[in-house]
Structure 1
Amino acid sequence: MERVRAFMDEHIVPAVPIYHQQLAAIDRWAEIPPIFEQLKAKARAEGLWNIFMPPSEHDDAFFTSVGLTNVEYAPIAELMGRISFASEVFNCMAPDTGNFEVLHRYGTPEQKQRFMVPLRDGETRSAFLMTEPAVASSDARNIQTEIRREGDEYVINGRKWWSSGAGHPRCAFYILMGKTDPDAAPYHQQSMILVPRDTPGITLVRHLPVFGYDHAPHGHFEVLLENVRVPAENLLLGEGRGFEIAQGRLGPGRIHHAMRNIATMEVALEKTCRRLLSRRAFGKAIAEHSVWEERIARARCEIEMARLLCLKAAHMMDTVGNKEARAEIAMIKIAAPKMAQRIVDEAIQAHGGGGVSDDFGLAELWANTRIVRLTDGPDEVHERQLARMELAKYREPDGAAS
């Protein structure tokens, strides 16, 4: 952790204004700021690279993890989360982390060599295509994109959206979830398949801004797939195993979001305190008004509660596995973004009109926080799952309450 902190302080924090200056001077959808590539090269040279992967029985010739547990990675992810692009400097950026883990756990040697190794080395980026505009994708059984077998190929037809990174200039492939057998049992209809970005039939319809922020060059895209043909060997794990893969992929990703949410809370609270101490109203510093003392105290309590809950979820994942930790994962996925959203909103209030401008970075921070309540499943899905687990403790075998 201290090595990451030192790297952030020495290299990334001073580079923030340079990064934004360079980003403003290029075609943001087609080019990468030079300073960014320099930072990535430095991080890799110092061994601060791919540090998101925990120890695994799946370690092989293609990848050996640094060996950090989820508990050990949590404070590091929080450090990275203080600056929007820092995670990518260390090759720890979503959705690549989740896609990397899918390939690492479920990919064939050939799939790993073609898709995972360039991702591991930072040569490529990737995207995850799951959500669809025509159905309520919070219930993934609704997904309608067709993956049809024709000889030695699969033919894909469908429309996806909120596909983060799908238009990145270095995005080389998508992991797509679609339906291979509509007549199978509900959780065995879906499969996942690797789709090279340059495959004929793929159209980037548009990028989708988040409250006006386009997040270039990463962005979020609507993607149309029309008779897209990929080799049959690009299928992951086997037909009907999409939900199995999704559960393995989304658990770690959900707590990674929570870790970054905690960083957001810390940044917002720091900005709040500095602003309130620098302004006077009605004869005293605004920080001394009781309403703000109450808000600051509550924010600190919530940050510490979120951090401890995140660490508990990480500990459970490390010790009993993702499946057994699903309640803790759901809890932190529900709690962290809501807490972060409230703390950022109060930081905006502390800055007055400046808070909703671009001058203090809080408007973008709020937008990036708000979307996490939808990312990897909306609040309501996790609340439903958690409530059912809680109710199950008190049900008799016949379904009646005990």
Structure 2
Amino acid sequence: MGLFDRLFGKKEEPKIEEVVKEALENLDLSEDVDPAFTEAEEVPQEDAEVESSEEALLQEEENQETVEESQDSEPVVEVSQEEIEELPNSEEVTEEENTELLETVEENSSEVLEPERSQVEETVQEKYDRSLKKTRTGFGARLNAFFANFRSVDEEFFEELEELLIMSDVGVQVASNLTEELRYEAKLENAKKPDALRRVIIEKLVELYEKDGNYDESIHFQEGLTVMLFVGVNGVGKTTSIGKLAHRYKQAGKKVMLVAADTFRAGAVAQLAEWGRRVDVPVVTGPEKADPASVVFDGMERAVSEGIDILMIDTAGRLQNKDNLMAELEKIGRIIKRVVPEAPHETFLALDASTGQNALVQAKEFSKITPLTGIVLTKIDGTARGGVVLAIREELNIPVKLIGFGEKIDDIGEFNSENFMKGLLEGLI
């Protein structure tokens, strides 16, 4: 079964219940109904409704008087069952009134407890749904408006669709390829109405990410030391992601160590050191302006001697000076391999999803500088540009392996394409 079918199911046929309901609604039963019988039935019903409303009003007044007598200024929500049973003149309160009063207390109590329930830990899918809300809403609104504006499938339809996809940050290449495929599908299916292509568009987006079904999203953890090298320009959330991951892995029972190899930016070292203090993991630092490779060497040796499970290395992101950055990363790579020949086991590029196509440009540039095994996608919760994941997948074939859901310390997790695509496209079909 393909990814689309797993997410949204196969094309649904009309349910038998809906067919029967529609048939019943279309039946003309007016000849079989006796008008006199209808009137005879309606009169008692009206009387019953009047009596019912009068009883409800009387009962509500009695309940209100009972509550006012039992407690002068206390709100109903704070009345316990024991207090209700010990109310003055409780013998005069009927069993029915007492039951309704208890229901009122329970209802109000549930409102008070609502904030506590909201603190319940989110599921992974709930995090995806929450963080992709802006992207899903923006894309969905544009798609719905697009279909509302067109009554036929013509060349203008496809041109506007391509522009819409580009605006959704799926990338120029993706938008162009997808539009061409839809032209072919429209001819094949002889589609004349835009709505006939709505499901096909979503299917194509899913297929685009699915490709050959080889996602390679899992992180390559090792039996002993796992070395993770992080690259990315300043301000994308790279250091913050490392800190959150340190917390995540330590909570999982791993021995974690961090290396502050961005020695030319004092703020980066201080930020990583603060994260280390906050999540209680050691951080290897060096003197200001020290050679980053020497700090990495110290970190590698300590990690091996102390039996560390996961070593995460933060590096500089001066993309504007690519030659120096390339030389620096190459040197760091050699130092790492001197201690552990098969390391680094993962080289992650941190990208800010809110930068849209600029994130794609950064991914292209960094992939020229150093081999990348995966992407850390940050700030996905604050943007409508989550479609950039599709562009990266199509144009660079670099898997997203980690995703940041928000600002909380546990708002980071391993990327799952099915959860992502469901969170991105849910409700559009």
TM-score, length of structure 1 as denominator length: 0.24
Q: Which is higher, the Rg of structure 1 or of structure 2?
A: 2
Query: Which structure is higher in strand share?
Result: 1
Query: Relative CO higher for 1 or 2, CA cutoff 8 Å, sep ≥ 6?
Result: 2
Query: Which structure is higher in helix share?
Result: 2
TM-score, length of structure 2 as denominator length: 0.23
